[in-house]
Amino acid sequence: MSVFLVILILVIILVIPNVKIVPQSQCYIIERLGSYYATWSNGLHFKIPFVDRVAGVVSLKEKVKDFDPQPVITKDNVTMQIDTVVYFQITDPKLYTYGVENPISAIENLTATTLRNIIGELELDQTLTSRDVINTKMRSILDEATDPWGIKINRVEVKNILPPRDIQDAMEKQMRAERERREAILKAEGEKKSSILIAEGEKQSAILRAEANKESQIRIAEGEAEAILKIKQAEANSIKMIKEAKADQSVLTLKSFEALEKMADGNSTKIIVPSDLQNLATLGTTLKEMFKEDKK
């Protein structure tokens, strides 16, 4: 019983610690007798006690490192602070374990020197407007330099570019002046369009007033013409009715007096009445002839 207990204790001490379960997205670097032996991926693995050992645990997930701002000098001798963010992933756990002593520190120093070289070839304005160019060049250079370390540089981003305070003040004044210039241009264009619209509105209003006046005069003229036509038609009908009634001389004489009365209504009308009243018959006869002529 005691022997079995001893064997059980030895199994627990020697076997169980040497059973390894590697999780997903991790790799174990195994050394045998001090030399690289194998890279274990996810799954169940066994190592020989006192012979094999786990030299390193490597994560295959993509990592993000935000490095502190670095002082750099542009081509036109302007010193500024630039900080970068590097996205990288381990593609070869063996090279990552044995390639460089401190991979993260190595990447940070390499990023700083590469950034200084790139910015040193650009002027201040180019640096502020060429972030994509800087990011692309840095990613390409860093990816090539870290390839022997088993590291893949996926992306490099320039996060902040901080020029000196006096340069920032000058840039703010320049941007303020540019905004004021654009505002003045937009205001002038708006006033121009407003004046054009007002002028066009006045033009259309004048045209409509002229057309309305023209239409009014046409309607008045048409009304007057129609009134004259109706008067003439009434006179013609009156003459026709007198003729059809076969009026005698006394009726015509009475009509003559009515005509004279209407003519006398005018303020400037003068009527000479003959002394011989018998001439009224002659006047009646004359009016009768006039009515006949009008009828013809």
Q: What is the pLDDT of residues 190-202, one digit of tens each?
A: 888 888 888 888 8
Residues 169 and 175: their CA atoms lie apart, in Å, by 10
Residue 77, pLDDT score: 86
Mode of pairing for the β-strands spanning 151-162 and 26-32: unpaired
Alpha carbon of residue 38 to chain centroid: 59
Instruction: Give the residue with greater pLDDT, 97 vs 177.
Output: 97
CA distance 175 to 178: 5
pLDDT digits (tens, 9 = 90+) for 240-267: 776 666 555 555 555 555 655 555 555 5
Is 90 exceeded by the pLDDT of residue 235?
Answer: no
CA of residue 104 relative to chain centroid, distance? 45
CATH superfamily assigned to domain 63-163? Band 7 domain (3.30.479.30)
β-bridge mates for residue 39, sequence order: 29
Q: pLDDT tens, 33-72?
A: 888 999 999 889 888 888 889 988 999 999 999 988 888 8
Domain edges within the chain: 2-59, 63-163, 165-245, 247-296
Q: What pLDDT was estimated at residue 138?
A: 92
Is the whole-model pTM more than 0.75? no
How would residue 114 be classed by pLDDT, with cut points 50, 70 and 90? very high
Rounded to whole angstroms, how far apart are CA atoms 266 and 279?
A: 24
24: left (phi over 0), alpha (psi -120 to 50) or beta: beta
